[in-house]
Chain A
Amino acid sequence: GQQLNQSPQSMFIQEGEDVSMNCTSSSIFNTWLWYKQDPGEGPVLLIALYKAGELTSNGRLTAQFGITRKDSFLNISASIPSDVGIYFCAGPEVNAGGTSYGKLTFGQGTILTVHP
């Protein structure tokens, strides 16, 4: 099956710093999703990307869909303590006809720690 590799595995930063993390795949994705998971909770969707080259923002978060369709990055600007959590990239698997049927493949996650 498809695999997504995220880096870095973990980050320790000071409040106010900017953060960048990325996700790569050996195969093409038609959609890239970025999720955040807080302790004891399920993942929550942050940003969805649908087109190669697309750059999308959601508040202090910015994500881009790579031109090759095999990578994506997520930036967080001016981090705050509530940004702490695990960030996952994900992409939908597609059937033989190239249509998503709902199954998501997730990366292994980037653990973010923000020191006040």
Chain B
Amino acid sequence: EAGVAQSPRYKIIEKRQSVAFWCNPISGHATLYWYQQILGQGPKLLIQFQNNGVVDDSQLPKDRFSAERLKGVDSTLKIQPAKLEDSAVYLCASSLGTGLVNGYTFGSGTRLTVV
């Protein structure tokens, strides 16, 4: 089965610019997650979707970050405007259901550098 697809793989932007990341989960996976992984740390959840509804966005900096999953399939994560501290790898993951933590599949991530 195809994995979780993410694009772009790399992005370099200047601070205060905008950027968007795209994720296509595994077919049939209802739950989609965006994690932020800062260098030297473990991934931290930004937002979780169940179909096209938000389950948890408590850690999403909503003044600059937004995410949507309009048709319950693929998703975009946007940062506007970017700050230096947003430099990180943004990982998308999907699973069949919310409680199936052993069924998580992560994408390869988008590495963002803000200069």
- Quick one: which of A54-82 are within 8 Å of B by CB? none
Q: What's the tally of chain A residues with a CB closer than 8 Å to chain B? A: 23
Question: Complex formed: what's the CA distance from A95 to B99 in Å?
Answer: 11
Map CB proximity to A onto B39-63 as digits: 1 under 8 Å, 0 otherwise.
0111111001000000110000000
Q: Which of A44, A100, A102 has the most CB of B within 10 A?
A: A102
Q: Given contacts A99-B99, A102-B31, is CB(A108)–CB(B104) below 8 Å?
A: no
**Interface assignment of A42: CB less than 8 Å from any CB of chain B:** yes
Chain B, interface size category, equals 20 to 34
**Are A101 and B42 in contact, with the CB atoms below 8 A?**
no
Closest to B40 in A: A108
B101 in contact with A33 (CB, 8 Å): yes
From known contacts A99-B99, A101-B55, A104-B101, infer whether A42 and B107 are also in contact, taking CB-CB under 8 Å. Answer: yes
Residues on B with C-beta less than 8 A from A108 are 40-42
Task: State whether A101 and B106 are in contact (beta carbons under 8 Å apart), knowing that A106-B44, A108-B41, A109-B42 are contacts in the complex.
Answer: no
Contact residues of B between 62 and 101, Cβ < 8 Å to A: 91, 93, 95, 97-101
| Supplied contacts A42-B108, A45-B102, A99-B99, 5 more A-B pairs, CB within 8 Å | A31-B101, A44-B106, A90-B42, A101-B55, A103-B33
Using CB atoms and an 8 Å cutoff, list the residues of chain B in contact with chain A. Answer: 4, 31, 33, 40-45, 48, 55-56, 91, 93, 95, 97-102, 104, 106-109, 111
A-B contact pairs, 22 of them (CB 8 A): A40-B108, A40-B111, A41-B108, A42-B109, A43-B43, A88-B42, A88-B43, A101-B56, A101-B98, A101-B99, A102-B33, A102-B95, A102-B97, A102-B99, A102-B100, A103-B33, A103-B48, A104-B45, A106-B43, A107-B42, A108-B40, A108-B42
